[in-house]
Structure 1
């Protein structure tokens, strides 16, 4: 079993975690008993941090899903009658959709001649009933057409399935090859099975992976791992890396590797995340960004301050000075006010509204810094900042959720109740911890 499930296999519910967190110690207890109570309490708090991180990433992704890639934030107010404040279904049309320009044969936008010759991966290998939406002449199809309020995007579904595989796999730890093989095997089975999900969009890393996978179509865990390792080595050594892979969409699927390494040391947790992301996002710059995020999340799971970890990350990203300027501006206005939200929207627009890692992580850590003790408002602000808010939100939600176990402000229960995919998969994952 992974280190975390070994520690918490008798802690089966979030409620039980809270009860153990409240365990009291009396002066009459023997010192050894006091030590055992403290260890039990610490383990329960870490487990609660893991639980809230799962809920936080799902809530942030689902909240943003209907306005994913809204680059003109005024379109949010127009389409939804104001700023997003609850889970919603996506409209049929997206005001700035470029889905029809995306490459259905692999990564990026319009297909190259070589990828055209290989045929569409969308419709034939993955997203079996969605090709007509990608090739729609209207050019305004919503990326997540087919989803409903409270449902999660394809990336988060893959994340939840990765967590379930890791939690139930009986691995020595999440950084070992057999853990990666099992997750990749489930990933291949999930995406290549017709009707396995309702999402319309699969970003470049999915399309690139399966454009290469279909040549030999390996199915066993060992074969898929060997294929992915060979592919990764070739792409990481290429003088022309695929820039579409250097995107914040690299973070959701590594989050379970960090969460389920919460009781392991930091290097083991970071290794688990980095070694896996090389197989899905083989770009030479990605490991650096995944390492920065993984170290922050692992530290917060252990009780470190979200705000301090965000500052540390922003300094590494050379974004601290800019963030401080926006933070000072935001502080002039009341919390949760429209004026303060406007400052946050300006900050995210300046730091990085799109998917590319340097800007997107700077925006995410800025929001983590500002909302370090308020997951609900942080998730809503992220949504209403627009742009790449789903993957940015998943990373933010996990951080804020983990920190909430120590601050006392968790993910709202009404949100948890309305998260359809979360309600189906998170309890199953938690039972295996």
Structure 2
């Protein structure tokens, strides 16, 4: 894969995430699908205004939520520093986000602040704790929604990818399982930017990186999940994270997507199969499934993520990034860029990040 194709995929991943965020702004967090269809019809196909009294009331179609705001904040930090600079990111959070929120759910950019960011604000602003002591126990995809930019930047440097995503995640979320699943998502996204497809082989490629020491996951089995042999040390490969299961999930989701005997129809009902709530263990399987099923169709992937209801914004951000990385910017319908607020500015940042990648080519 040549350099221009890689950059196209990198920019597609970033813009796919922003588009997914904005597409779900209006119909965000409808757990009653009858209510969702009543307010937005049988199929949501474009950007929509939030309804009065809903989570993002007051914003307009095509604008970003606070998740998109924080992703942009980290993206700017990566571009301006030509890599991950934790001190700079924390400074930006202190200066550009925290003065705009008040520790309550309905506040700040996007008119909603997630649990982990509220926890960090209270500890940082009200209790004056230093960064490194403000993380909480939220089990959401909040960190993935920003660190996907790190995954793109270090797509060809999995060791740096894992280290930077780990360090950034634990600023706001300290549950080790959440951290491992966040790093695993970044590793998957990195492989997709490189030119791989989200298919049944993706986990084997990830496990090779574990074996080489590039990804910090513990693995007690040998290749292809075969049992350890007598005399093998215990364990044969030791990493920061307790097991490699977060790296194995994507291939199982891809297998389900490609198996003709497994039918989820219509595909947006994957949200019911894996669960509508916010927790990372509901969100990742659905995003992996949709991105494998629609690996060459960005529009269908992200719209099925949105139309599934519940925490569809996180689902659409993750699905948008994974599918955008597979189809590239050239595969994202122009109408999604035309309707996205600040699209030119965001696209310029995405292209700068892509240009800064060290591909080794």
Specify if TM > 0.5: yes
Correspondences of 1:57-96 after superposition (within 5 Å): 57-92=17-52
CA spacing shift, 1:322–1:86, aligned 2, 3 Å: closer
User: Within 2, Cα distance between the matches of 1:358 and 1:300?
Assistant: 21
Q: Which residue of 2 aligns with 1:262?
A: 155
What is the CA distance between 1:67 and its match in structure 2? 1.1
What is the CA distance between 1:292 and its match in structure 2? 1.6
Are positions 1:280 and 2:148 aligned together? Answer: no
Q: Which has the larger radius of gyration?
A: 1
User: Within 1, Cα distance between the matches of 2:96 and 2:12?
Assistant: 25
User: Within 2, Cα distance between the matches of 1:299 and 1:428?
Assistant: 21
Q: Which residue of 2 aligns with 1:183?
A: 89
Q: Which residue of 2 aligns with 1:426?
A: 347
Q: Which moved more, 1:74-83 or 1:252-261?
A: 74-83
Q: Which residue of 2 aligns with 1:224?
A: none
What is the CA distance between 1:197 and its match in structure 2? 5.8
Correspondences of 1:192-211 after superposition (within 5 Å): 192-194=98-100, 198-211=109-122
CA spacing shift, 1:404–1:211, aligned 2, 3 Å: same
| 1:167–1:260 contact (8 Å) kept in structure 2 | no
Correspondences of 1:164-243 after superposition (within 5 Å): 164-170=76-82, 173-174=83-84, 179-194=85-100, 198-215=109-126, 217=128, 227-232=130-135, 242=137
Q: Which residue of 2 aligns with 1:119?
A: none
TM-score if structure 1 supplies the norm length? 0.65
User: Within 2, Cα distance between the matches of 1:46 and 1:321?
Assistant: 25
Gaps of 5+ in 2: 102-106, 205-244, 356-361
Match of 2:248 among 294, 308, 316: 316
What is the CA distance between 1:49 and its match in structure 2? 0.9
Q: Which residue of 1 aligns with 2:228?
A: none
Match of 2:64 among 143, 152, 155: 152
| 1:151–1:420 contact (8 Å) kept in structure 2 | yes
1:87-112 Cα shifts (integer Å, max 9, x gaps) = 111111xxxxxxxxxxxxxxxxxxxx
| 1:76–1:83 contact (8 Å) kept in structure 2 | no
Correspondences of 1:227-376 after superposition (within 5 Å): 227-232=130-135, 242=137, 245-263=138-156, 265-308=157-200, 316-317=248-249, 320=252, 324=256, 328=260, 340-341=265-266, 344-376=267-299
TM-score if structure 2 supplies the norm length? 0.77
Correspondences of 1:377-388 after superposition (within 5 Å): 377-388=300-311
Are positions 1:412 and 2:333 aligned together? Answer: yes
What is the CA distance between 1:310 and its match in structure 2? 6.5
Does the residue aligned with 1:306 lie in a helix, a strand or coil? coil
What is the CA distance between 1:413 and its match in structure 2? 1.1
Gaps of 5+ in 1: 1-40, 93-140, 219-226, 236-241, 332-338
| 2:15–2:346 contact (8 Å) kept in structure 1 | no
